[in-house]
Structures are given as structure tokens and as C-alpha cells.
Amino acid sequence: MTKIEMNVNGRAASGEVEGRTLLSSFLRDELRLTGTHVGCDTSQCGACVVHVNGEAVKSCTMLAVEAAGSEVTTVEGMANADGSLSVIQQAFQDHHGLQCGFCTPGMVMSAAALLKENPKPSEAEVRDYLEGNICRCTGYHNIVKAIMAASGQDVAPVAAE
Amino acid sequence: MYNFDVETPGTVADAVAAIGRDEAQALGGGQTLIPTLKQRLASPSVLVSLSGIAEMKGVCMGDDGRLCIGGATTHATVAREAAQYPALAAMASHIGDPAVRNRGTIGGSLANNDPSACYPAGVLGSGATVVTNTREIASDEYFQGMFDTALEEGEIITEVRFPIPEAANYQKFVQPASRFALVGVFVAKFSGGVRVAVTGASEEGVFRWSEAEAALSSDFSTGAIDGLSLSGEGMISDLHGTGAYRAHLVGVMTKRAVDAAA
Ligand SMILES: Cc1cc2nc3c(=O)[nH]c(=O)nc-3n(C[C@H](O)[C@H](O)[C@H](O)COP(=O)(O)OP(=O)(O)OC[C@H]3O[C@@H](n4cnc5c(N)ncnc54)[C@H](O)[C@@H]3O)c2cc1C
Ligand code: FES
Ligand code: FES
């Protein structure tokens, strides 16, 4: 077992892990941050996306020890300091960007990474960026709409299909 | 996953020493190796992480005009920073998805040599040189068949050096479930001739399509390859496409690449 420390959502976190402990397991089982979902565990679905030092990664495909000393942000760290929803989260609610909500933590984290890189993406750029995030419910349309709205763009042209 | 220890060396020398020990294996971005470990298809007792080795990361221009990419450089970094070689940067920007690109590395992709991976086509198509801790390997010698390379046990890819062509382009026909290439073609035009490297198609892994190279070297236009065709023999046949379909796609993707490069 190795003792690791990292900063998660602005707070110091530490724990004992095995070499094989995945970052997703460390967050969920050790830190009890169960907002990060594990949909496939085969690196395909993106439900487990978190940010490590500001970059989106699949936490089921990174070892916890590799994140030692990093700044990690999970969906639990996305709300505003007063507990109200962030702009992206609120947009998902307003535009019905979720149904069962299983993919939503990964979608929100990918959306946040996209908007940091590209504050006013086109619809095509949003769809392209979400290539690694799979949703079984929504048909993606309202997710794309929510992200466009969160970027401050008019979503009237993103007509419902 | 079976358990293993993880070492995080800070230099190539320390990494080579650690990997030299019994049952140790290099860990790049883990985007192939971690899924493999989960399936228990590999059982190293030590993983030696290369991601903390500063001398193996980054993109720069060599004095000889070649673009040098450290072996532990992520696809996202290449997409962002390989501006001197736009076709290569564009190829890197379409590997997998953004989260995969933030972790996956050029060295890991080349060491793995998946028959449907993108980098093998970029490296062979460019005639690049794979640099390891012990030697330099020309791309024509490096790729030795599906998942097979010239690397020796414990050898680490520290850098890849790309000569920069006059014009180049990579066209990938995406297999929508895996996001790998169903067929991908990298075309590069140098003053001395044209190279065409094909991934995703052959059961032997990445290969150079020599007839197309000869035709394009005398006339760099889509018309030059009009009469050429490949046989479906020896091509990968699976539920995503037959060998004949893949062979046909090679021609289509080559034309698109020439069109986009010219
Ligand atoms: C969802 C998904 C989609 C993908 N889509 C594509 C795609 O479209 N195109 C594509 O090309 N790839 C794709 N990949 C694969 C991806 O590019 C991987 O990053 C890459 O194949 C392996 O690189 P890695 O750094 O993650 O290596 P790892 O998984 O860490 O290692 C792979 C192998 O290489 C060895 N190794 C690692 N680094 C070195 C080194 N420097 N020297 C020697 N040996 C080393 C390891 O020991 C291991 O055997 C995809 C992966 C996923 C999960
Ligand atoms: S749980 Fe990590 S990609 Fe699906
Ligand atoms: S809302 Fe159910 S998987 Fe996306």
C-alpha cells in the first residue's frame, strides 16, 4: 500500500492505495465522492471523466498513484461556493440535458473542459468534443443545447429534432 | 486486475533500470495498458510510469529541420504544439476522444502498434525515426506486423523524429464504436518522392502502398491512382467490414488525402 495525497475540489485528500487502485475507485470508495460514475470500466463511455490539473481524463483509466500531488476536480466541485448550480449544471437542468443522469457527471466535466478551451464552440465542435461521452437516454440533442446555452449563445437555432 | 507496484522515475536512465528488472513494464498514458490489465491479459509485477520524465515530453524543432516529439508526449500536446507539421498535428487531434488524447502518448501508441492505430501510419508515412534509449530505428524497419515492432525487451521509445514533407494529409475512416481507424491513409510528399502508409487494413499491420507511391511520385494528383486497386487478400475481415471493402477504402482514402494535401 502507498500513501497518496492530492487536492480534490479544493480540499486536501489522502489515503492508502494499492498500485492497481484506479483514480475512479479512490474517489468513489475511499473519498466517498460517488458523483463520478463508472459506466463501462473499459475506457469507452466517459461517465468517469474528472479533471486532473485542469485536463479532462477518464478516471477509470488512470491509476490513483499517478494522480498523487495533483489538483483533481470532480462533479462535486462544480457547484458555486454557495451551493447553487454552476452555469453549466443549471443549463443542463434548464434544457433537459439529462434523463436518468448516469452520464451527466462526465458530460458536465467534459463540457467544462471544452468551454475552458473554446468559450464559444459551434454545435459541430460540441458534438465532436463529446465523442468520448456516451448517453443512453437523451439522444445528445439537449446536452449539446445545454452546453451551447452555457457558453452564452442563442440556442433557438438548435431546434429540437 | 492483478496487483502490481508502481514506480515513478524522473529520468530515462532510472526508468531503463527499473524496466530491466523482472516482470516490469513501461506505463505510458495507460489508455491501452490499463484496459489490458483489467482483462488480465498482462500481469506485470511492476509498472514503471514514464509520465514524470520531463526529458521525454514535448515537441521541438531539431537543428536538422526535423520535428522531434518526446516519447511520453500526449496526443493533445502534439495536436496543440506540432504546428510546423500541420498534417501530423491534425492526425493527433483526431485520435480517440479528448480524454484519451490528454493521457495517451506517441511512445505508447508506437510500442503497442495496434493494426488500426493512427500514429503507425503517420510515422511510416513520414519516414520518421524512432529513437530509443539504445538506438535509432528507421520507420521502415520498426513496424514488424500486427502488435509487433523492432523494440527489444525493456527498450523505451524516448523520441520520434519526423522529417517535414512539402505536403501531407491523413484521412481516417472512423470505426464509430472504437473510434480507431477502420482504414486510415497517411500521404506525404517529399522532394524525393511520395510515401503512402496505410493503417487499419492489413492483417500485417501498417504498410506502404508502393504502387500508389510510384504513381503519385510522378504525378501528385488523384488521377494518378485512378487505375490502381488493392486486393482484399490479407486484409482484415471482421463484422465492421470485409477485406474487399477495406481494400476499396484504401483507394478512396488515398485519393481524399491527396486531394486535401495538394
Ligand atoms: C476510447 C479509445 C479510443 C482510442 N482511439 C484511438 C484512435 O483513434 N487512434 C489511435 O491511434 N489510438 C486510439 N486509442 C489508443 C490510444 O491512442 C492509446 O493512447 C495508445 O494506443 C497507447 O498509448 P499510451 O501512452 O496510453 O500507452 P500505454 O497504454 O501506457 O502502453 C501501451 C504499451 O506501450 C508500452 N509503452 C508505453 N510507453 C512506451 C514507451 N515510451 N516506450 C516503450 N514502450 C512503451 C507499454 O508497456 C504497453 O505495452 C484509443 C484508446 C481509447 C481508450
Ligand atoms: S467508466 Fe471510465 S470510460 Fe466508462
Ligand atoms: S441521461 Fe441517461 S445516460 Fe445520459
Q: Does domain A87-150 have CATH number 3.30.70.100?
A: no
Contacts of A43 in chain B (CB under 8 A): 31, 34-35, 100
- Note whether B246 and B210 are same-domain residues: yes
CA A100 to chain centroid: 16
Is the predicted pLDDT of residue B178 greater than 90, yes or no? no
- The per-residue pLDDT for range B138-150, each reduced to its tens digit, is 999 999 999 999 9
Domain stops at, among B146, B162, B178: B162
Q: Are residues B254 and B178 in the same domain?
A: yes
pTM above 0.95, yes or no: yes
Quote helix, strand, coil % in chain A, to nearest 5.
35, 15, 45
Residues B115 and B196 placed together within one structural domain of the fold: no
* Domain edge (last residue) among B162, B186, B215: B162
The three-class DSSP label of residue B203 is coil
> Among B16, B32, B49, where does a domain finish?
B49
Query: Do B236 and B200 contact (CB within 8 A), yes or no?
Result: yes
Residue B14 grid coordinates: 532510472
pLDDT tens digits, one per residue of A52-105: 999 999 999 999 999 999 999 999 999 999 999 999 999 999 999 999 999 999
A-chain CB neighbours of B73 within 8 Å are: none
Give chain B's domain count: 3
Residues of B in contact with A113 (CB under 8 A): 98
8 A C-beta contact, residue A72 and residue A7: yes
The answer on B71 and B132 residing in a single domain is: yes
Which CATH number does the domain housing residue B235 bear? 3.30.390.50
Does residue B125 sit in the same domain as residue B181?
no
Residues B154, B179 within the same domain: no
**Parent domain of B75:** 56-162
Whether B176 shows a pLDDT value over 80: the answer reads yes
In Å, how far from its chain's centre is CA B108?
9
DSSP state of A72: E
Those residues with Cβ within 8 angstroms of residue B176's Cβ, 6 or more apart along the chain or in another chain: none
A16 close to B (CB below 8 A):
no
Q: Are B38 and A19 an interchain contact pair (Cβ–Cβ within 8 Å)?
A: no
Is B153 found in the same domain as B129?
yes
pLDDT at A159: 64
Write out the residues of chain B at the interface with chain A, using a CB-CB cutoff of 8 A. Answer: 1-6, 8, 27, 30-31, 34-35, 37-38, 47, 49, 51, 76, 96-100, 102-103, 179
Ligand 1 pocket member B57 (CB < 6 A): no
Q: What H or E segment, with its residue span, contains residue B249?
A: helix B243-261
Long-range contacts of B36-44 (CB under 8 A, 24+ apart): B37/A20, B37/B1, B37/B2, B37/B4, B38/A41, B38/A42, B38/B1, B40/B1, B40/B2, B43/B2, B43/B4, B44/B4
Quick one: B61 and B155 in the same domain? yes
Interchain proximity B98–A42, CB inside 8 Å: no
CA of A63 to the centre of ligand 3 (A): 26
Domain boundaries, chain A: 2-77, 87-150
| pLDDT value for A85 | 97
Instruction: Please report where in the chains the cell 457547484 appears, as a residue.
Output: A79
Residue-level pLDDT at A158 = 79
- The enclosing H or E element of A15 equals strand A11-17
Taking the C-alpha atoms of residue B237 and residue B116, their distance in angstroms, rounded to an integer, is 13
Q: Report the CATH architecture of A2-77.
A: Roll (3.10)
Domain co-membership, B195 together with B123? no
The CATH code of the domain that includes B153 is: 3.30.465.10
* B126, B145: one domain: yes
Phi, psi of B220 (to 5 degrees): -80, 75
Q: Looking at the complex, report in whole angstroms how far the Cα of residue A57 sits from the nearest Cα belonging to chain B.
A: 4
